[in-house]
Amino acid sequence: MRRAVLATTGISALVVVLLSLKPHQLPVLAGAAPRSPASSATPHTRATTSTGTGTFTGDPINTDYGTVQVAATLAKGRITSVKVLQAPDQNGRDQQIASYALPRLTQEAIGAQSAHIDAVSGASYTSQGYIQSLQSALDQAHA
């Protein structure tokens, strides 16, 4: 009887501890400061904002490994393509990560029709930069 009480107490304590843990969060990126409305327009932005049609250039996002910037093309509010304008490429490892992560992120963004996509494992900083730049482009499209 004593073993059953100890086991139940131990398991209950373990469940409480596990439930109190915070979920994993992506790292905070350097240079990811909030944008001011005046800086939202970029020279590469062209669009008819009332219909959400055109190409919208996202803000360049500085990460620990380099800058990430994308341009999203929308047709009637739907993402039709995302072009990567800048990505970390200082060394072979950066290029390797970008070569597998960026096409995957683009495919997910088009499929989800938003910037609310999962980060690619092993490319957390690049993923967060991509997501933030894409969100800024989408914000411009819907302004």
Q: Domain with 125 in it: what CATH number? A: 3.90.1010.20
What total number of domains does the chain contain? 1
| Residue 109 included in any domain | yes
Whether 11 is in a domain gets the answer no
3-state secondary structure of 56: strand
Angstrom distance (rounded) from CA 13 to CA 112: 39
Domain of 38, in residue numbers? 27-141
Q: Is residue 124 part of a domain?
A: yes
| Burial of 55 (C-beta count, 10 Å sphere; 0-12/13-18/19+) | middle
- Residue 12: inside a domain, yes or no? no
Predicted TM-score (pTM) of this structure: 0.67
For residue 135, being part of any structural domain is answered with yes
**Residue 14 has what pLDDT?**
75
- Residue 134 forms part of a structural domain: yes
Q: Does residue 8 belong to any structural domain of this protein? A: no
Around Cβ 66, how many Cβ atoms within 10 Å? 18
Segment 75-83 long-range contacts (CB within 8 Å, at least 24 positions apart): 76/51, 76/52, 77/51, 77/52, 77/53, 77/141, 77/142, 78/52, 78/113, 79/109, 79/110, 79/113, 79/114, 79/138, 80/110, 81/106, 81/110, 82/106, 82/109, 82/110, 82/134
Residue 105, domain member (yes or no)? yes
Q: What is the pLDDT along the chain (143 residues), one digit of tens a residue?
A: 888 888 888 888 777 766 666 554 444 444 444 443 333 334 444 444 456 789 999 999 999 999 999 999 999 989 999 999 999 999 999 999 999 999 999 999 999 999 999 999 999 999 999 999 999 999 998 87
Query: Residue 70: phi, psi to the nearest 5?
Result: -130, 160
